Amino acid sequence: MNTYEIFRLIWWAILGVLLIGLAVMDGFDLGAAMLSPIIGKTDSERRVVINTVGPVWEGNQVWLILGGGAIFAAWPMLYAVAFSGFYFAMLLLLMALILRPVGFKYRSKLQSTAWRNFWDAALFVGGLVPALVYGVAFGNVLQGVPFTFDNFLRISYTGTFLGLFNPFALLCGIISVSMLLMHGGAYVACKTEGEIRARAQCAADIAAICTIILFAMAGVWAAHINFYTVTSFAGTGAPSDMMAKTVSRTAGGLLANYKALPITLAVPAIAFISALFTLLLLRRARRPGLTFITSGLTVAAIIGTAGVSLFPFLLPSSSDPGASLIVWDSSSGLLTLQIMLVATIIFLPLILLYTSWIYYVLRGPVTVAHIESNDHSVY
């Protein structure tokens, strides 16, 4: 193994960690935002749900910003192709993400019911759209999207916006929504009591069942997707030139990594087992903290499954498979990867440390009484 190869692998893993961080941390507040109009019957109850994530969503959303920044720095071509290719999907995501912070902050500033209903709707959309778009994006990445490069590596992307919403991608989108609903429900159950907790658990229960069924369906479907195999490339330590390789299409290739290395089957297996555990714990309505952990593990393993299935691809090209982005030919230079790793090693543990402190300070449930007695200082 050469140094560049090792660093590319490390950054592939970090990419996974950041996406999982996003889904596990920001995912539960997307889920909670979707659930608030469903499990909150009264204004105060909705505020309870919103305030379970109130003090933390802002920090959680940084996982997205960090993910974007890390892709920009470590996988610039992936950033360029995905963001410009998925143009309107990104715009949609962005609009939802703009509504969300504003919705959290502004919703309870006025007493008016119309005002609050409007922002509840905005928060619901702000939770649903990102969850859906993330899943749909993964669904497209798993099938490849149509793009190629000219001699100076200028991208030409030939896909359309509506083309992104193909059946398999939609299935992935729904998996994403249901797993985040499960995770959001598990979180709300941790942070509330009584009636609201029971409803959150009920919602998470339904979402967990959907997640298990849909994830299994996607697995069966994936076995029938024609995927890609790298047939020749410049080397794991060669400079990043996406056009210096050949790739062929193979039937059933999306499962090739599991056949080649059966141990990797552990990843989807963990997804199923932890989802079943989550369901079991929800049914018993005990140990909400543990339930949250198992649902987080489910989310992580589902994303991990997508990552293992794709490797070494980051983004396959369906129109010109040779132009696909793979781990070995679309990273930044070695020096950038090294500098960024140093920064990550220093700051990621710090982030986890102070984030844990925040959750420790905020421990304990949010209650209707608490909301009503702190009308002005909470969301």
Partner 1 sequence: MDVVALSRLQFGLTALYHFLFVPLTLGLAILLVIMEVVYVSTGRTIWRDMVKFWGVLFGINFVMGVATGITMEFQFGTNWAYYSHYVGDIFGAPLAIEGLMAFFLEATFVGMFFFGWDRLSKVQHLIVTVMVAVGTNLSALWILIANGWMQHPVGAKFSMATMSMQVSDFSAVLMNENAQDKFVHTVAAGYVVGSMFMLSISAMYLLMGKHRAIALRSMTVAASFGLASSLAVVSLGDASGFTIAHDQPMKMAAIEGMWQTEPAPASFNIVGLPDQATHVTRDAIHIPYALGLIATHSTSTPILGIDQLVQQNALRVASGAQAYGALESLRANPNDAAALSIFNAHEPDLGYGLLLKTIDPVVTDATPAQIQQAAWATVPPVATVFWSFRIMVGLGFYFIALFATLFYRACTRRLDTARWLLWLTAFSLPLPWIAAELGWTTAEVGRQPWTIDGVLPTALSVSSVPAMNVAISIAAFVIIYSALFVVEMFLMVRTIRKGPGQVHPAPIFITRSPIVPASQPAE
Q: Please, which of residues 335-364 interact with partner 1 by CB under 8 A?
A: 335-336, 339-340, 343-344, 347-348, 351, 354-355, 358, 361-362
Alpha helices in 86-112 (DSSP H): 87-106
Closer CB to partner 1, residue 64 or residue 203? Answer: 64
- The only residue of 5, 9, 105, 170 in contact with partner 1, by rule CB under 8 A: 105
The 3-state DSSP class for residue 96 equals: helix
Hey, which residues does 145 pair with through a beta bridge? 317
Shortest approach of partner 1 to residue 300 CB, angstroms?
Answer: 20
- Residue 228's nearest CA partner among 313, 351, 120 is 313
Hey, which residues does 250 pair with through a beta bridge? 227
Q: What is the dihedral of CA 347, 350, 354, 356, to 10 degrees?
A: 110
Give CA separation, 277 vs 184, 195, 219, 273, 341, in Å.
16, 23, 20, 6, 35
Closer CB to partner 1, residue 98 or residue 223? Answer: 98
Contact positions with partner 1 (CB under 8 A) in 222-251 = 238-241
Specify the amino acid at residue 158: T
Shortest approach of partner 1 to residue 214 CB, angstroms?
Answer: 28
Contact positions with partner 1 (CB under 8 A) in 261-320 = none
Shortest approach of partner 1 to residue 115 CB, angstroms?
Answer: 10
Q: What is the 3-state secondary structure (H, E, C) of 1-17?
A: CCHHHHHHHHHHHHHHH
**# residues contacting partner 1 (CB under 8 A):** 72
Choices 146-154, 212-220, 253-261, 311-319 (CB under 8 A): range interacting with partner 1: 146-154
- The only residue of 36, 52, 61, 176 in contact with partner 1, by rule CB under 8 A: 61
Closer CB to partner 1, residue 98 or residue 217? Answer: 98
Alpha carbons 123 and 184: distance in angstroms, whole number = 14
Contact positions with partner 1 (CB under 8 A) in 62-81 = 62, 64-66, 68-74, 76-77, 79-81
Closer CB to partner 1, residue 106 or residue 233? Answer: 106
Choices 97-105, 174-182, 200-208, 299-307 (CB under 8 A): range interacting with partner 1: 97-105
Alpha carbons 223 and 216: distance in angstroms, whole number = 11
Closer CB to partner 1, residue 61 or residue 143? Answer: 61
- The only residue of 2, 13, 41, 98 in contact with partner 1, by rule CB under 8 A: 98
Shortest approach of partner 1 to residue 177 CB, angstroms?
Answer: 21
Alpha carbons 267 and 191: distance in angstroms, whole number = 29
Output Rg (C-alpha) for the chain, integer angstroms. 21
